[in-house]
Amino acid sequence: VHYSYDRAFLRKLLAETQSALIPVVRAHLSGKSADRVEFVFDYLGREEFCDSVFKVGGLYEELLGRVVADLDRLMDEERRG
């Protein structure tokens, strides 16, 4: 298993990231852009969305596996410099 799913942890992390990012976006981009960023984080943090993405045998399992593999590769490349 390349990943585990902890809904509470993921939603907390998304909320913390949103809280840190929104002031930066508001300072440098339009209000409309900040609203879009908030919309994306709100959508990604929905329980239904998170559960559907991480459901074993679900619709997104293959895609999630590819995302995880790509992230692993990127982290390996970063470690190697």
Q: How does residue 56 score in pLDDT terms, banded at 50, 70 and 90? A: confident
What are the sequence ranges of the domains in the chain? Answer: 7-45, 48-81
- Render the burial of 9-44: b for 16+ CB within 10 Å, e for the rest: ebeeebeeebeeeeeebeeeeeeeebeebeeebeee
Letter for the amino acid at 77? Answer: E
pLDDT digits (tens, 9 = 90+) for 2-40: 668 899 999 999 999 999 999 999 999 999 999 999 999
Percent of the chain with pLDDT over 90: 75
Model-level pTM? 0.73
Q: How does residue 1 score in pLDDT terms, banded at 50, 70 and 90? A: low
The total number of residues shown for the chain amounts to 81
At a CB cut-off of 8 Å and minimum separation 6, what does 52 contact?
58, 59, 60
